[in-house]
Structure 1
Amino acid sequence: MRTYHIILFSIITMLVSCMRKEKIDTIVSADKIYLVDAEFTNQQAMAIDKGKIVAVGTLDEINSKYEAKEFLFFEDKYIFPGFIDPHCHFIGYGQMLQNPWLGGADSWEEVVDRVVNYQKENPSQWVLGRGWNHAEWRDKNFPTKELLDKHFPDKPVFLTRIDGHCAIANSVALKMAKIDSKTRINGGVVEVVNNQPTGLLIDNAMEYVREIIPENTTQEKVQQILVAQKNCFAVGLTSVTDAGLSYEDIMLYDSLSSGGELKMFINAMIEASEENINKTLAIRDSIGEKLSVHSIKMYADGALGSRGALLLEPYSDDPSTSGLQVNPKEYYTQMCSIAFDNNLQVCTHCIGDKAVSMILDIYSNFLTSGNDLRWRIEHSQVVQESDFDRYGKFNIIPSIQTTHATSDMSWAEQRLGDRVKNAYAYKRLLEQNSWIPNGSDFPIEDINPIYGFYSGVFRKNVKNPQNEGFQVENALSREQALRAMTIWAAKADFKETIRGSLEIGKVADFVVLDTDLMEADESQITNSKVLKTFVDGIKVFEQQ
């Protein structure tokens, strides 16, 4: 009888205990879960319900409090917050995927051969491609149109350089765009030799051709976005900022968000024009939950690789130019005024030190010390010595891309000379506000955020890790590099209370890796793999 009572008591105790457990959707456990909270702690388990994190702790603690429909145990695996890219071109990446990628070639001839072969298999009305980089070729001169004219005498060709700020067009495309040797464009260059355009177009000159390229249909754009989303999930990206969008593209995002097809979170920067801003402001409070619109994007200059970045002094390898200012100063002041009056964040592309200095001047007319408007300078690639402290003085955020440093390191000194010591100075920039967001600028760089982590910590190119680190005095610590692509990236978009870390009340966006980024050897990081990606607690990617 006594044994019976003991058993009965045990059963009742167990049942009462189970009844007291809170019922939730999922318990997740791993070797380490990096919360990326203020103390940078890690835990063994977390509880998820209705897409949100409800608890973190040891596995025993979580099991004692919660009863889950699903239990996910990742033995010898590591969980991190979903990675965030605070500066990319998401729609542009999707569009790029339908055309040949031209990076990695060692000559212009190889580039053209790729395009010819692609056209044989995928004929199209316009011949488009992206990614060529003359700095990688044996002959490092800019290409000209003759080879394109030979292979495509009747079709228009437009091939964009890897940085997106320079392109080569053939004679058919130039004629259609009404570009000749006399064409002059503010903020752009039509290269002319022997009174003939070579086909090389820089910055604003590219728009003459872009304007006549047929638009993708809405359905084509939708497919491109969904493929881009799938690829992002495969590398652990759960949120991105698309830097510079038309009203029409923002509305397309909104439609996909409302329909449930857009599962990742997108922060959409408005392409800065008065019309574009006004149309977007009218709808921003009614957009879908997977979309945010609260910033504008401007371009102050071009890119260093195509010598369009605006420098205070001429280029060391071409004293005839100091680069390009894309728009008049009055334009930047007007856009900042509109943004300030409408509580919009301002984000301006600045590569050269003169561009950085000009935009810092303009920002300082609107910002006061201690503000929390989080106006950003995108790239902040070359900064004169006297300008570093102005980031901190006015709480201006340098939005960086660490892979730019390691992609450019083989030729940056040729362009800049001694100025290179103040270029790609990410640690110094971080010190201004004690935090910094790090993105990729894809498709200019690879979409994989772990490459950005690697470049930030080791200052090496993941595709050539044997090289010595580039200006390692500006390397980030592992913790800083991880924060820069999670919680600090979220903060750059005013979303740090919602995502960016695995804390109670935040969305359950997380990624499972086979490698501990905080402890692994350098060589292991370059080979690390994303095994699963979760958005709102739901699996959206699994490695096959």
Structure 2
Amino acid sequence: MKKILFSFSILLLFAACNSKEEVDLIVLNANIYTVDAEFSIANGIAIKDGKFAAVGDKEQLLQNYHAKKELDVQGKTIVPGLIDAHCHFYGLGLNQLVVDLVGTTSFEEILEKVVAFQKSNPSNFVRGRGWDQNDWEVKEFPTKEKLDELFPDIPVALRRVDGHAYLVNQKALDLAGITMETEVEGGAIVKKDGKLTGVLVDNPMGMINAIIPKPSRKMQVQALRDAEKLCLDYGLTTVNDAGLNKSTIELIDSLQKADDLSIRVYAMISNNPDNLDYYLDKGIIKTDGLHVRSVKVYGDGALGSRGAALKKPYSDQDGHFGAMVTPVDQIEGLAERIAASEYQMNTHAIGDSANVVVLRAYQKALEGKQDRRWKVEHAQVVSEQDFDYFENGIIPSIQPTHATSDMYWAEDRLGPERVKGAYAYKKLLDKAGLIALGTDFPVERVSPFLTFYAAVARQDLEKYPEEGFQMKDALSREETLRGMTIWAAYSNFEESEKGSIEVGKLADFVVLSNDIMDMPVDDIPNLKAEQVFISGKQMK
């Protein structure tokens, strides 16, 4: 009789298992911020075929599902895969191949780093990126004389941290054909005491770009893989690359299809005739890993290099207004052309003059058109009367760490009144209804946790300023997490497939080392992405 009962119990257990739906993975004992419409919290998820099959209570999940694998995260916090809504993914990878000048505190330190790099990595063209004269004791642009002494026969090009200025030596100037008589609209060839200083701001940089040796395919592949590793380490599962050419986009696509690149890429094509002619005619390109449907346009330059276009002169440079990188009539023409296609227009605008030019061009081009989701990238300095433009479906794509990087000198550039309309993230959110958050790496550091901290605390890592920088425009934690997930996905036309942990969406998620919504704000910069999943597959 006991044998019969035992056999019957086994049959019941087998029948119960057979009645459960089989999934690939069940994650249990988690503190899951789903970032759905209600910002609801769950403690378990089931994943099948790369998508969320169920989200909710772990006990119900175990009753209804049988998994090939279970993962007990022991109370750790889970959030949707993080999205960087504005970065330079490929550029980050290429930067691993040049001299890293980020954080240098003097021109002398830069020279030491360049000499050491060239000694250990001999090259016939020396490149670097990351200097920022605002971090030096003497906050003025450097000049090329010492570079000329150290490298009389090898061209050197050192890019400023924001990407909007070069310091080059005489050899590079000679190869590019730049002389005292050279004139280029939309920027500056900086001169001092009747001589070239070697500093080029915005459009003149193109003449240097033309002589820089192109990376080999092997180097390009390595750059993309290096960038992916850095991003995955911080829980980024989707990156919006703000400016790619056709060849790089096709390389990304080929690597993804060969399973050699897993991170998802929302690609903004660089604004040039070849890209526009090809992609606007071809239409939207969409795979699980790659989405090509936007054009990246540069309105003006950067505030740190005084290239941002302002309505009134810079407070710290009489008579200087900055410059439009793309002339006003061209921005208006581009807006009309892109509006006639399926593509989104995403325009870099820093200064208040550039912002209003872009916003007016958008309003005119989009008249009568619905749900186009065009973005203003940075929206950094906006005049009081111009915020209302964002009520018309225009999305601010902003980078909170710019505020905490620039706060030391922003008022010097803008003055006490104009700075009140700068880095106004809460006001932009109130007007637009949503915001997309990113880092702009490698201009800033890759970590989205620094983005979160800067948005909420508006302080640097030394807790300066004590009361926070212009705290009226700080974001709440919920607003910030939405900006890094579902709102960023919405800005990419991808809210139905990612950005929240909901049934049917791609199983992109991150297991964090602490509770980002409840931990002390000062500890957020030290947060870790302990495990990272893309389509239910563990990447870290």
Deviation at 1:262, TM superposition (A): 2.0
- In structure 2, the residue matched to 1:121 is 120
Which secondary structure does the structure 2 equivalent of 1:125 belong to?
coil
- In structure 2, the residue matched to 1:174 is 173
- In structure 2, the residue matched to 1:81 is 80
Deviation at 1:64, TM superposition (A): 0.5
Distance in 2 of aligned mates of 1:287 and 1:31: 32
Distance in 1 of aligned mates of 2:308 and 2:277: 29
Which of these residues, 392, 406, 409, is aligned with residue 408 of structure 1?
406
Contact 2:436 2:488 in 1 (8 A): yes
- In structure 2, the residue matched to 1:486 is 485
Which secondary structure does the structure 2 equivalent of 1:365 belong to?
helix
Contact 1:336 1:346 in 2 (8 A): yes
Distance in 1 of aligned mates of 2:29 and 2:259: 29
Contact 2:396 2:435 in 1 (8 A): yes
| Superposition map of 1:196-275 within 5 A | 196-275=195-274
Deviation at 1:249, TM superposition (A): 1.5
Distance in 2 of aligned mates of 1:146 and 1:111: 14
- In structure 2, the residue matched to 1:141 is 140
Deviation at 1:368, TM superposition (A): 3.7
- In structure 1, the residue matched to 2:397 is 399
Distance in 1 of aligned mates of 2:187 and 2:455: 32
Contact 2:280 2:342 in 1 (8 A): no
Deviation at 1:480, TM superposition (A): 0.4
Q: Does 1:37 align with 2:56?
A: no
Distance in 1 of aligned mates of 2:355 and 2:236: 29
- In structure 2, the residue matched to 1:317 is 316
Deviation at 1:337, TM superposition (A): 1.8
Contact 1:43 1:58 in 2 (8 A): yes
Deviation at 1:4, TM superposition (A): 6.1
Distance in 1 of aligned mates of 2:71 and 2:325: 51
Q: Does 1:161 align with 2:160?
A: yes
Residue identity matched to 1:428: K
Contact 1:274 1:335 in 2 (8 A): no
- In structure 1, the residue matched to 2:14 is 15
Distance in 1 of aligned mates of 2:219 and 2:406: 33
Deviation at 1:281, TM superposition (A): 4.0
Residues 21-59 of structure 1, C-alpha deviations (whole Å, 9 max, x = no match): 111110012430111100001111100011100001111
Contact 1:534 1:540 in 2 (8 A): yes
Deviation at 1:340, TM superposition (A): 1.1
Deviation at 1:286, TM superposition (A): 6.0
Distance in 1 of aligned mates of 2:29 and 2:499: 19
Residue identity matched to 2:401: T
Distance in 1 of aligned mates of 2:159 and 2:530: 33
- Structure 1 107/192 Cα, relative in aligned 2: closer, same or farther at 3 Å? same
Contact 1:30 1:78 in 2 (8 A): no
| Superposition map of 1:126-525 within 5 A | 126-281=125-280, 288-368=287-367, 371-392=370-391, 394-417=392-415, 418-461=417-460, 463-468=461-466, 469-525=468-524
Residues 379-419 of structure 1, C-alpha deviations (whole Å, 9 max, x = no match): 00000000001110x21111100000001011100000021
Distance in 2 of aligned mates of 1:287 and 1:64: 37
Distance in 1 of aligned mates of 2:522 and 2:112: 34
Percent identity between the two aligned chains: 44
Deviation at 1:257, TM superposition (A): 2.1
Deviation at 1:526, TM superposition (A): 2.1
Identify unmatched segments of 5+ residues in structure 2.
Answer: none
Q: Aligned-residue CA RMSD in angstroms?
A: 1.5
Identify unmatched segments of 5+ residues in structure 1.
Answer: none
Contact 1:273 1:335 in 2 (8 A): no
Per mean C-alpha deviation after superposition, the further-off stretch among 486-495 and 251-260 is 251-260
Contact 2:166 2:199 in 1 (8 A): yes
Contact 1:76 1:514 in 2 (8 A): no
Residue identity matched to 1:465: K
Contact 1:165 1:302 in 2 (8 A): yes
Deviation at 1:7, TM superposition (A): 4.6
Distance in 1 of aligned mates of 2:7 and 2:283: 61
- In structure 1, the residue matched to 2:48 is 49
Residues 222-241 of structure 1, C-alpha deviations (whole Å, 9 max, x = no match): 11001101111000000001
Residue identity matched to 2:148: D
Contact 2:157 2:167 in 1 (8 A): yes
Contact 1:156 1:172 in 2 (8 A): yes
Contact 1:35 1:81 in 2 (8 A): yes
Deviation at 1:99, TM superposition (A): 1.0
Contact 1:34 1:79 in 2 (8 A): yes
Distance in 2 of aligned mates of 1:500 and 1:162: 30
Per mean C-alpha deviation after superposition, the further-off stretch among 282-291 and 328-337 is 282-291
- Structure 1 370/335 Cα, relative in aligned 2: closer, same or farther at 3 Å? closer
Per mean C-alpha deviation after superposition, the further-off stretch among 252-261 and 372-381 is 252-261
Residue identity matched to 2:117: Y
Distance in 2 of aligned mates of 1:391 and 1:332: 18
Deviation at 1:273, TM superposition (A): 2.6
Which secondary structure does the structure 1 equivalent of 2:148 belong to?
helix
- Structure 1 24/522 Cα, relative in aligned 2: closer, same or farther at 3 Å? same
Residue identity matched to 2:465: N
Residues 415-452 of structure 1, C-alpha deviations (whole Å, 9 max, x = no match): 00021000000000001122110000100000111110
Contact 1:349 1:378 in 2 (8 A): yes
Contact 1:369 1:395 in 2 (8 A): no
Deviation at 1:9, TM superposition (A): 4.6
- Structure 1 286/496 Cα, relative in aligned 2: closer, same or farther at 3 Å? closer
Residue identity matched to 1:320: G
Distance in 1 of aligned mates of 2:160 and 2:522: 30
Deviation at 1:288, TM superposition (A): 4.5
Residue identity matched to 1:50: D
Deviation at 1:454, TM superposition (A): 0.6
Which secondary structure does the structure 2 equivalent of 1:383 belong to?
coil
Distance in 2 of aligned mates of 1:56 and 1:246: 39
Contact 1:83 1:239 in 2 (8 A): yes
Per mean C-alpha deviation after superposition, the further-off stretch among 361-370 and 151-160 is 361-370
TM-score (norm 2): 0.97
